[in-house]
Amino acid sequence: MQGISFLEDSVSVILSDISNRELLDRMQKLVKTERKITHVILLHIAEIETRKLYAELGFDGMFPYLTRGLGYSEGSAYRRLHSARLLIQVPEISQKIENGSLNLSQLTKMQKCIKANEDKGGVLSASKTLEVLQKIEHRNSFETEKTLAKEMNMPIESYEILTPQRDDSVRLVVSLTKDEFAHLELAKSLLSHICLDGTWAQVIGKLAETFNKKKLHGREEVTQSAIVAAADRVDSSRAVGGLRRVQDSQSSGLSRKTKRRSSRCYIPLDVRREVFKKAQNRCEYADVISGQRCQSRFQLQIDHRVPVALGGADGIENLRVLCRTHNLAAARQLGIGGR
């Protein structure tokens, strides 16, 4: 197989000796090869299960054969087994697996929905299954589950679960309405410069901290005791470090505006708003070859297309919105810093 031959050739290559473009080209070919091999593996799994060949090898089912016999992790075996079964039911998805428009996680979620439907006495035709699968092509996990929940009429669950853990942290499972989640997602975007890891736990914690300080203003004793109690329960060394940095800057007597003026070019607020509006509050970086735009909302920063150090102006036409990753990448490309 040509793909396997390319894979064998790639193993012998010293990656540090090849150019960036060649490295990316090779990676693209490897991914295509991986998908093709995965598709072939799914066909083999389906045929072995049909013939029940696992029994001849001493296994009582396909799953034990994949895990104990072939060494797959339980998660990997589960996804491949369910995907193989769906592939047999709907052979039309073969090409979609190879070109990457559908992945194993999506096929597994679809198969689980089909099983849940069957448990309720329903029967889903192959044509309906293919129709639903077409609607989740190129979707991320969240969008896939949202589409499947609607198309497969999955039951709506609403509950809250609080589970204490041995380090005094608490695991929280909660259902949110569409509007509640939209507000929370917007808050996550706006707090991305403070909540560097971007976890929901950080975002919820920061929102609660800000609200509590506002409501308890002037009651330092209560506020301090609440903060100390929280610090005892949560390992927030990174957040505390960030809080100390903020306190240090405040105690220095410098306002944020003054500090910005002294460390970088000051961009008026109305100009900043216009730049973000033009960018639709998303990163504007686009790959020069594919045209693929980043569109991240995480840690957005205003960047000078032509840096100030190289004579760039502060006008809107020279400003753009980049996420932190692409802002640093742009700086590296121009040789003016960034890690």
What was the pLDDT predicted at 230?
A: 53
What was the pLDDT predicted at 234?
A: 45
What was the pLDDT predicted at 9?
A: 61
CB 123 within 8 A of CB 85: no
What single DSSP character describes residue 130? Answer: H
Integer angstrom CA distances of residue 163 from 159, 167, 199:
13, 12, 18
Cα–Cα distance, 147 to 290 (Å, whole number)? 28
Task: Report strand pairing: 319-323 vs 300-304.
Answer: antiparallel
- Neighbouring CB atoms inside 10 A of 130's CB total 15
Note the pTM of the prediction, 2 decimals: 0.60
- Neighbouring CB atoms inside 10 A of 171's CB total 10
What was the pLDDT predicted at 295?
A: 87
Find the DSSP H helices in the chain. Answer: 2-11, 20-51, 62-64, 74-89, 94-99, 104-119, 126-135, 141-151, 178-190, 200-215, 220-233, 237-251, 256-263, 269-278, 324-334
> Where do the domains of the chain lie?
2-151, 161-253, 261-334
Q: How confident is the prediction along the chain (339 residues), in pLDDT tens digits per residue?
A: 555 555 556 555 688 888 988 998 999 999 999 999 999 999 999 999 999 999 998 898 999 999 999 999 999 999 999 999 999 999 999 999 999 999 999 999 999 999 888 888 888 888 999 999 999 999 999 999 999 999 998 888 777 888 999 998 999 999 988 899 989 988 888 888 788 777 899 899 999 988 888 888 766 555 555 555 555 544 443 333 434 433 444 444 444 444 434 344 578 888 888 999 999 988 999 888 888 889 888 888 899 988 887 888 888 999 999 998 898 888 888 777 644
